[in-house]
Structure 1
């Protein structure tokens, strides 16, 4: 029982840890690509976005006991269905990022616009993750896996975009990372629903 509690606590904290690693990867690639001077504008952008995200997560944690009780049992299915709707909408926020990267030159305007997309996207994914985590004890595995997918995408896209677009590329990598987490979690929830429908655990 103690091991189960420790594992669940570790899984619950993993998405936030991996989100921090996504930021670290972006800073690392900025330095390696010779865009160390762009760390300042990127820092301002992620600080503004991070403040909103941290405030939201704090509010979630305050309400977590009540939410967990509300979403247990049969209500958990409705909670997961709501999370999937949120995740699908969140993934759509990635779409404007590509034309912005193609049309606008790297700079303050592009960085600001990408930040305006990344901030609500991160908030929506965080909310969906919060709902899923509170449905049952097995859900944190899905949210941790989704966060892992986001880290992989952040590293891969930062390696491609940052050398060409500096801080704007780093923010685009975070945007795509959050989108990948949304898609991964939605797919994971869909697979779990199908398993239950066919008599799985």
Structure 2
């Protein structure tokens, strides 16, 4: 079976990126119990068996690896590279924000099938399970950084900027009663939480800017 049969027609420019000490993708690959993660993923899909593929990449704080089920469905496991209490709290805020944006808008935020923010779990690492979306990030597309050094190629700019502007319009319309981070409450609702290093939540913009 060819790679295109597994992941579709979009070639993935995925590779390990060196982002400094303390956040190694290779180390995280070894520390993560991928069999346990696949067992969890299978349990969420009526026990359809799955296995991790060799397609993986990383950013500054997380790595992602593709999981393939026997029926052809693809998910990604997003696994944290950093494990400090600060990073755990950041991941918790990211998850709550994704859930809130998905609930409040039509933006294409991936569904979260399962997650753990503490590394003391069966997988051995904080993780999120999400559907696989074929494609590359903007910086990895069209040959990647080595080709365009982070600039969107001229031919793609009109479509890219129109799409980005449409996302910004929706994002600008999302509101909470106070200014702060997005936090999900135990009863499933969302509220504004404190901003690390600043405080809050704030009732007014002047209070936020003063802080």
Structure index of larger Rg: 2
By the TM > 0.5 criterion, same fold? Answer: no
Which structure: greater strand fraction?
2
Which structure: greater helix fraction?
1
Tell me the TM-score normalised to structure 1 length: 0.21
| Higher RCO (CA-CA < 8 Å; seq separation 6+) | 1
